Structure 1
Amino acid sequence: MRQKRYSSDLTDSQWEQIKRYFATGRRRKYDLRYHVLDAILYIVKTGTQWRMLPGEFARWRAAHYYFRRWREEGRIRCILSITCRSARRRAGRHGEPSALIVDCQSVPSTRAGGISSFDAFKKVNGRKRHIAARAQGLLWGLVVHAAGDHETQWALQLLAPVASRLDRVETVFADQAYQGLEETFDKKLDWTLEVVESDDDESGFSVDPKRWIVERTYGWFGGWRRLDREYERRVDSSETMVRFAMLRIALNRLD
């Protein structure tokens, strides 16, 4: 166990919730919780570079090795899905949502490279985080793509994997950017798409019905400095960084 602790570290009760998904009989030089998982959460929370990990964690190459391995396995995505179900049950809800809200967030890229383009509407050169959330704001679907790509180009890529995991979903709420996909959603997913329109009669800021949920989720991203911009060369690494942050947020609901 490390001597120094950080606010991004998992608590004992949070580790109890997920440690069985990391169970192994193999002996390691580093403890998966204290030296690896906490190291990755520290990077996502503080935005530091891998090579600048504090010495009490695993060596950065070891931490990055597990990050890549869990990214390729899809392990964090599976654990996040399980944890979101547990969080809903803890709140007295069914484990699976019956509706989803989808939206995009355009984020500027750094010089790290990788896929990116210019979003002419939001005047951002970078990528879009395309998410599907529900009432508690927890993440059920995520895909990262170039900012210049329209939402309709990636809606099915976002939701098709979600449809294979969730049986109760019947409705998807979205903004006007998704208009025209109603028939596609019905045929491909057997879901109903409901477009939520803004109240143009109101001056100044107004809260759109349903869609404020994803805006709140994007607000949570702001508390994780690694998510402030797109620092990752690979989009799947970017997605994994988001999932680590959301896993920690979901575990807070179970603490």
Structure 2
Amino acid sequence: MFGLGTEGIVKKYQTDLKTYIPPNMSHTAFDKNMKKNRYKDVICLDKTRVVLQNGESDYIHANHVKGDPFLNPFICTQGPMQITVNDFWIMIMQEKVSNIIMLCNVREEGKNKCFQYWPQDVGSSLTFGDVQIKCAEVDNSKDTTFVISVLQAENRNTRLTIKHLRWKEWPDKGVPSSVLAPFRILKIVRQSLNRATVVHCSAGIGRTGCIVAIEMALQQILSGKPLAY
């Protein structure tokens, strides 16, 4: 692989790896719910997908990532769209999510990347379906790279306090200016052991995958266990 050079690696990805699906993996729900997929070439596998229990359908483009070496489970998902934002909050309440890591902006380079699914100003609120979300606190003083909001979300059965961590300066298909920001963000979410953290960018694979891969590598190193992959 290293002998291919940069252009060769890109070509290899475009021709072989981009469309690769692991053996014995299906994506039937993805195929049946195309209007709920932000990108038609970003597949959601059936085996690990989040199954909604109380939505209009059981589908959302989101997948569980958990097990060794992670200390707490992750859910990787696409940026919510207007037609999927209700499903997004159904998932948050169902999975009792403690943190949401947002790695994109609502608009980037003049294009919509994510629907405005959370209230930004202290005291403001939004309602999606039967879930009401209120912004209780905003703290952007500690680090100019990301904004931490405390959201209170409730429906008829559940009330959650959620930390919303929005990384403002990671360009799509680019390199972030801060190399320490992911470590600060991951340190925060580790405080919520055994509760899920949702991670999303626009597609839910690029920037999202990087953050989860960093945590996986860190925990593997700290565990001292040999790789078993």
TM-score tier by shorter-chain length is: 0.3 to 0.5
Write 1 or 2 for the structure with the bigger share of helix.
Answer: 1
TM-score, length basis structure 2: 0.36
Write 1 or 2 for the structure with the bigger share of strand.
Answer: 2
TM-score, length basis structure 1: 0.34
- Greater C-alpha Rg: 1
